[in-house]
Chains A and B, each alone.
Chain A
Amino acid sequence: MLALTSLLIFVTLRVIPGNPVITRYGATRGVDPKALEELMRQLGLDKPIPIQYLDWIGGVIKGDFGVSYFSQFSVTTLIGQRLGPTVELAAIALALALLISIPAGIIAGVRPNSLIDRALSAFATVGLAIPPFVLAIILVVIFAVGLKLLPAQGYVDFSENPGKNLTLVLLPSVTLAIVAAAPIVRFLRASILETIQSPYIRTAEGKGLLWRQVVLRHALPNALVPTVTVVGLIVGYMLGGVVVIEYVFGWQGLGALAVDAVLKRDYAVLQSVVLLVAAAFILVNLLVDLLYGVIDPRLRVGGQGT
């Protein structure tokens, strides 16, 4: 699966007569042909394309992503610098999203058509339609331009200045969290609504359990099963959303690196960043599949179901 994905990325970037020399010197003309040949040889671009692919993949497996066409740094160094900020942003955003969406989904699902359900569902509908960068601009207008409470842009490493780092991560992570929470709320609400109508819930109620207990201990675990898949997909969506959000807020992560790489035609960096993100997405969905077994004992027996 990942092999096929990597091949897809590689082939796409190789069909073009892209020449890294242009990125290094700005033009092909007027450059000493010997220097050009030397550079091609250094970057391994004189070899046949299938060998180039195997070189790249062979390196990736060993944790070596090759050399950037543009800067002298290795791609591994560049990615290493940018991975932390992206993981920080995505993790905070996901945590916030779950913190908002799980209680909201439960409350809306337990009291369908109540005022609070209508409000939450309206929020979800808007959240589903609003592009992350539009939401980002609204938040910047309110909190940075209007109230002047938070900085609009920038990145400071956590180890340098934890306080500054956290104030800077606030707006981008809230943006991503709201966008990610909307589909989870919608899905969990429907799931809860369906679960509480099943006979076993009536049994639990009939036993005289508190309604809170019925919802949290009996209905929630079953309602969460399908929701977990949605969360897996949301993570993938967030990995994409991160690209634009990092760009908006000047957050120095992988997404900003990818946009930069396209602008500089640094395909060595671009292909590795995209591969890494795809790998992360596949891994998350694999984890979701495994998680199924944990939360739903019926699926623990191999080979059946789903």
Chain B
Amino acid sequence: MAGTRDLEVAGPGAVALPGVMRRLLRRRAAAIVLVLLGLLILSAIAAPLLTSYSPTALAPRDRFLPPSPAHPFGTDELGRDLLTRVLFGGRIALGIGAASTVIAMLVGTAWGFIAAMRQGWTDEILMRLADATMAIPTILFALVLVAAFGASTVNLAIIIGLLLAPVTARLARSAALDELKSEYVLAAVASGATRTRILLSEVLPNTLPSLLVLATLNAASAILTEASLSFVGLGVQPPEASWGTLLFQGYQKLYQTIWYAIFPGVVIFMTIWLLNLLADQLQSVLDPRERESSRA
């Protein structure tokens, strides 16, 4: 039905999580991607240490400076250092991205697992609800929710997290259904384990790798959605500024300086690109077919 996404579910007998990480690091491309992503996250966390400017200090005499050793990204319309603003914007953008990914994974996995375990009516209602949500383009639904609940940073993380939950629920449900058919689950049933226990201690660990791929993709969508909302002025509200906010401010000043828009734009693009590449790498580590062919 509407909004189905093709995401391959790693079948029964999928590899366990620590093994996945080890195998991932052995690939050079994946290792580079992980290091770059790590640097990006670190630069956001360590923002105050990396720059001598304050993100809000005004220097009206230094408006619209092009990149220079003193201001590697140039300055904005009020003379603020753009590198500093991008670093601090990253805290908000990545913070919201991370928080909403966690929310999406927790809510979505519970949603899908309950549907898979209960089946029948509960399954039907839960999955129709997921379909109905997914019929509305994410950005438009996000607009409705922002209109309803307001656009604080916390609200944005919750809203984006909840919007990504239905996709997660679908994958979690089909992954859980696959696992529930396998023999080790039958063995657990025979030994008297309760259904909740089976889900948490048998099914969850085995679906974790494919959920991990989805989490990576979810993080990319979350960052994109937040940036889009902030770009149209309905996301992060001033005086706070995420990458999307900066990009829009830069866009309005395009005829004065192009650097203002370019740096936030490049950073958003790089982040999403790296997350997509990581998801690709994870997927191919997890897919046994591809593992064979890459070895040959």
Contact = CB atoms under 8 A, between A and B. Distances in A.
B143 A129 contact: no
A127 B244 CA distance: 18
B187 interface: no
A154 interface: no
A125 interface: yes
Interface in B236-295: 247, 250-251, 254-255, 258, 261-262, 265, 268-269, 272-273, 276-277
Interface in A114-156: 125-126, 128-131, 133-134, 137-138, 140-141, 145, 152
B233 interface: yes
B138 interface: yes
Given A128-B276, A262-B146, A262-B234, A9 B228 contact: no
Contacts of B251: 133, 137, 140, 248
A141 B259 CA distance: 10
B138 A259 contact: no
Interface residues of B, number: 48
Contact of A285 (B1, B143, B258): B1
B254 A137 contact: yes
B131 A240 contact: no
B147 interface: yes
A105 to B, nearest CB: 16
Interface in A239-269: 239-241, 243-244, 247-248, 258-259, 261-263, 265, 267
Interface in B104-138: 128-129, 131-133, 135-138
B231 interface: yes
Given A8-B132, A129-B272, A131-B269, A243 B143 contact: yes
The interface residues of chain B, by DSSP majority, are classed as helix
A240 B1 CA distance: 18
A87 interface: no
Interface residues of A, number: 53
B269 A129 contact: yes
Interface of A is mostly: helix
A1 interface: yes
Contact of B140 (A138, A145, A277, A282): A277
B190 interface: no
B216 to A, nearest CB: 13
B181 interface: no
A261 B143 CA distance: 10
Contact of B261 (A141, A239, A244): A141
B45 interface: no
Contacts of B149: 16
A140 B254 contact: yes
Nearest to A238: B137
B57 interface: no
Contacts of B83: none
Interface in B196-249: 220, 224, 227-228, 231-234, 247
A129 B217 CA distance: 11
A72 interface: no
B265 A137 contact: yes
A18 interface: yes
Pick the most buried of B137, B224, B247, B251: most chain A CB atoms within 10 A of its CB.
B137
Interface in A1-56: 1-2, 4-5, 7-9, 12-13, 15-16, 18
A97 interface: no
A161 to B, nearest CB: 24
A281 interface: yes
A274 B143 CA distance: 9
15 contacts: A4-B131, A9-B144, A12-B145, A18-B148, A131-B272, A134-B269, A141-B254, A141-B261, A145-B254, A233-B3, A243-B139, A244-B228, A262-B147, A271-B144, A274-B140
